[in-house]
Amino acid sequence: MASVRIDGDDLVVEIEGMDRLWSLKSRLVIPLANVRGATADPGIAAEPKGLRAPGTSLPGVITAGTFHQDGERVFWNIRDGSRAVVIELADEHYARLVVEVVDPAATVALIEKAVLR
C-alpha cells in the first residue's frame, strides 16, 4: 500500500510496510509540474505488466517495483486492484505510477486539485 500527499510543489508517494521490500522503493518524489493527472482504475491489476526489472510479481498476490512495457517504465505497488490509482507523469523516470491506496477517490481528487492550481 502507498500513501500519497502533496508537499509544496511535489507529489510524494510513500510506500508502506513490507511493500518497501517488494517494490525496492520507499518513497517517490515527483514535481507537480510533471504530474499530468490521476485516475482510479480497479481493472488495471488484470492488465499485462510488462517485463519486471527490478521488482516482484506474484499473480493474484502482489505486483511491486519497476516494470517495462511498450518502451516505458511503470512503477507498480498493488495487492488489491480495487484500490488502484494510476498517476500519469511527463518527463520523469517513470511514465506512470500504479499504486494501491486506502481511498482511491480522495487520492485522485487530491492530485487533480494540486495539478490544476
What secondary structure does DSSP assign to 40-64, as a single string?
E-TTGGGS---EEEEEEEETTTEEE
pLDDT tens sequence across 74-97? 999 999 999 999 999 999 999 999
**Arithmetic mean of pLDDT, 62-68:** 94
Confidence of residue 59 (pLDDT cuts 50, 70, 90): confident
The whole domain housing 52 covers 2-116
Can you say whether residue 71 is alpha, beta or left, with left for phi > 0 and alpha for psi between -120 and 50 degrees?
A: left
pLDDT at 79: 93
Spatial neighbors of 79 by CB under 8 A, at least 6 apart, are 1, 19, 61, 62, 100
The pLDDT of residue 117 is above 80: no
Locus of grid cell 513490507: 18
**Arithmetic mean of pLDDT, 49-76:** 90
pLDDT tens sequence across 4-33? 999 999 999 999 999 999 999 999 999 999
Number of domains composing the chain: 1
**Arithmetic mean of pLDDT, 48-69:** 89
Confidence of residue 65 (pLDDT cuts 50, 70, 90): very high
pLDDT at 115: 93
pTM, two decimal places? 0.94
